């Protein structure tokens, strides 16, 4: 019973967090940062204000968590591919990242960050640690594994990961962020990832 109780509380806390983030995302996108209150988020999520404040003491922290939550991969946790084929591993992780970028809400929330941050000092002070996003974290871990196996030579897996994902985002995400009607199909997206993977192997392959 002692062990079951903490597990129950953890499950409830996780469910509450998911409900809060989903409600916050909808309200931020619909009403903007200024007109979204924590009270409205709590009501929409079906939780008490005390429950919300326990997890997110300020609206700025809730906004940050909402933006980072959109970076979670739609298909679930990002797994590090087996070592031995750097090109194939990069393709798999590149596609996982592309799936995040292709979600409409990703661009919508980034536009909101750009629009709202100059107006609110509490947002300007946030770091938005995108290094915690699953695709970037998994890619960094993968490059370390391949380096330990002697298949790549990188001074900084984190920098190399950012370079790889940057090549993908530049081609399939940033144009859509600026031009709302811009689009790219799956075949073109896979070609972008393929070229980025080849570039990485040419640069860092041991």
Q: Which class would CATH give 86-204?
A: mainly alpha
Fold that domain 4-58 belongs to in CATH: Arc Repressor Mutant, subunit A (1.10.10)
Mean pLDDT of the chain: 88
Domain ranges of the chain: 4-58, 86-204
Coil, helix or strand for 82? Answer: coil
Question: 115-144, pLDDT tens digit by residue?
Answer: 888 889 888 877 666 656 778 888 999 999
What is the torsion angle, in degrees rounded to the nearest 10, for the CA atoms of residue 62, residue 67, residue 70 and residue 72? -80
The 10s digit of each residue's pLDDT in 42-91 is 999 999 999 999 999 999 999 989 988 887 756 566 778 888 899 999 99
Longest Cα–Cα distance in the chain:
56
pLDDT digits (tens, 9 = 90+) for 25-36: 999 999 999 999
Q: Given this model, what pLDDT does residue 1 score?
A: 46
């Amino acid at each position: 019973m002692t062990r079951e109780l903490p597990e129950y509380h953890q499950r409830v806390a996780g469910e509450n967090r998911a409900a809060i983030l989903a409600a916050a995302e909808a309200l931020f996108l619909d009403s903007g940062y200024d007109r979204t209150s924590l009270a409205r988020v709590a009501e929409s999520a079906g939780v008490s204000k005390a429950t919300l404040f326990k997890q997110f003491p300020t609206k700025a922290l809730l906004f940050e968590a909402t933006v980072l939550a959109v970076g979670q991969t739609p298909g679930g946790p990002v797994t590090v591919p087996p070592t031995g084929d750097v090109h194939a591993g990069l393709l798999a992780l590149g596609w996982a990242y592309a799936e995040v970028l292709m979600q409409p809400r990703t661009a919508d929330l980034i536009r909101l960050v750009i629009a709202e941050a100059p107006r609110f000092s509490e947002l300007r002070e946030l770091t938005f640690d995108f290094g915690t996003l699953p695709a970037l974290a998994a890619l960094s871990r993968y490059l370390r594994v391949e380096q330990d196996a002697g298949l790549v030579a990188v001074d900084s897996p984190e920098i190399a990961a950012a370079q790889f994902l940057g090549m993908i985002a530049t081609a399939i995400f940033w144009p859509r962020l600026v031009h709302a009607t811009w689009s790219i199909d799956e075949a073109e997206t896979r070609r972008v990832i393929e070229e980025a993977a080849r570039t990485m192997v040419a640069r860092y392959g041991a």
